[in-house]
Chains A and B, each alone.
Chain A
Amino acid sequence: MIPHPVPGGPESVLRLRNVKFTYESGIEALGGVNLSVDKGEYLAIVGGNGSGKTTLAKHMNGLLRPSSGDILVLGAPASSRTVAELARVVGYVFQNPDHQLFCGTVQEEVAFGPSNLGLGPTEVQARADHAIDIMGLSHVKGRSPLSLSLGLRRRVSIASVIAMRPQVLVLDEPTTGLDAGEASDLMSIVRLLNEEGSTIVLITHEMKLVAEHANRVVVMAGGRIVLDADARGAFSDPGLLRSSKLLPPPVTLLAHKLAPIGVSKDVLTPEELVFELTRGGVG
């Protein structure tokens, strides 16, 4: 394992120490994970299916409890706190929005989380309205969430979590099933949340999202972290990614092919490639 460039300091919001987890069926899903997430980070967890990404993420808000090892949330052990208590700090958005929507209107749906926190009605209302506003749902707030498109249903599910104002937002494959426009809109909103101070943990298969948004990448394989680096570092080694059933984004692969003519290998976006190709000396 390559050590994380910034070791978890006092600022870390989440800290996992030698976390192991075995499912009842006897399958070991996590084989000793050490991870420290700092405040304000935008962390992507990537890996093939069955590599342990979701299992790891579910430990962050207590939905799963480690078989051994310990987890600190804001410096305090998570083991003594319920999921509901941890939900104030760590918001978790499930992959399938249909697994949580049950209210008659978007407004009620988004207000459900904050009202579970025992806040007063005005505060609940204010938080719900703010979340609806951020997620761009004002035009549908009186409609039934179930009647909306998948893209909008997913935004409602995110709004209903951010309305609780968690410091950490865990997103499990938020762009699955969305078209390019919906996905890019959603990711811009998430970036905005990050810029406003939220710590983002993004679980995804889409390397393009990782390259464009995350500032740190954790690669998982076989229940272990095999790489923990910044996005450029992570994509510079296609061999390691391939062994974890992943591919760098196409633009990075292209840059690797163009390396013989002097293009830098750590290109992450089309803009960077254009810059590489148009600056003096290349081409």
Chain B
Amino acid sequence: MTGFMDLYSERDTFLHRLDPRVKLLAVVTISALAFILSEIWSLLLLLAFILLLMALTGSSFRKAFFALKFVIRFMVLITVLWPLFDRSGTPVLFSIGPLDITEPAVWRGATSAVRVGCFATVWYILMFTTSQRDLVRGLTKLGLRFDYGLALAISFRFIPTFGLTIESIKDAQRARALELDRGSLWRRSKNYVTVLVPTVVTALRTAHMLSLTLQSRAYGAVRERTYLREVRMGPRDYVAAAVALLVFLLPAVAMYHFGVQL
């Protein structure tokens, strides 16, 4: 699971330099666009645009493949399962026993799959180009309370640490001749109590220590704290924000005002 936590890679691309708030805005407008588009061709075009952006993040092929693997699996699943449950429309392409697979349902399945692909992939662009710290800074700038932002940043930070702790705890119990994954479901769930209790205890001890270290570093001493890295919107960010809005508004106006089928 830690693979998901280090999606970000330090690069110096145009997307990396953008203000995190602009990137969040773009994720929202592109997702909204994916939501309103109903023609598979327009959605495929949007997906191609998102993949182009992803190529511009300068992330390694390996990382992109790791990320897209999950999206593709999900898309295949939707395409295959949709026609099994949605049996409306004609013509019937073929029948599997009592199941009629209809052509419109196959198209609807594929369309939904591409839509979901757009939703998922656009988030990856944000994760590829924005460090967790910048993301949290962006959110606090948007009005999230700093302490909530800090809590969010700390939880991101500790996910891999806890992954390692849990591995170590599992090893410690296995060294006491416990076969964690053997026996009935009931037996196995009982075995995992031996992992759960030390994990919770370690988490509480860590949280307690962390609160002490935060306090000893003057956390909460003044109401208005300052930041090492100020996030500030530059001209480039305003242009990007405008583009992000237009990407949604132009098709939306075309569809709802002029009645264009997109």
A interface residues, Cβ below 8 angstroms from B: 58, 61, 63, 82-85, 87-88, 91-92, 94, 96, 98-102, 112-113, 116-117, 146, 160-161, 164
Contact = CB atoms under 8 A, between A and B. Distances in A.
Contacts of B179: 82, 84, 116
B194 interface: yes
Interface string B155-199: 000000000010011011111111100000000000001101110
Given A99-B165, A113-B176, A116-B177, A58 B198 contact: no
A92 B178 CA distance: 13
Contacts of B173: 100
Given A82-B179, A84-B179, A94-B168, A99 B202 contact: yes
26 contacts: A63-B171, A63-B174, A83-B175, A84-B174, A84-B177, A87-B177, A91-B175, A94-B168, A94-B175, A99-B165, A99-B169, A100-B169, A100-B172, A100-B173, A100-B198, A101-B197, A102-B194, A102-B197, A112-B176, A116-B176, A116-B177, A116-B179, A117-B177, A161-B175, A161-B176, A164-B177
Interface in B63-117: none
B201 interface: yes
A47 to B, nearest CB: 20
Contact of A94 (B171, B178, B201, B202): B171
B3 to A, nearest CB: 11
Nearest to A82: B179
Q: Looking at B176, B179, B193, B201, which has the most chain A CB atoms within 10 Å of its CB?
A: B176
Contacts, number: 66
Contacts of B169: 99-100
A96 B164 CA distance: 13
Contacts of A87: 174-177
A101 B178 CA distance: 13
B92 to A, nearest CB: 49
B257 interface: no
A203 B196 CA distance: 27
Nearest to A163: B176
Given A82-B179, A101-B201, A94 B172 contact: yes
B201 A58 contact: no
Given A94-B168, A94-B171, A102 B176 contact: no
Contacts of B198: 98-102
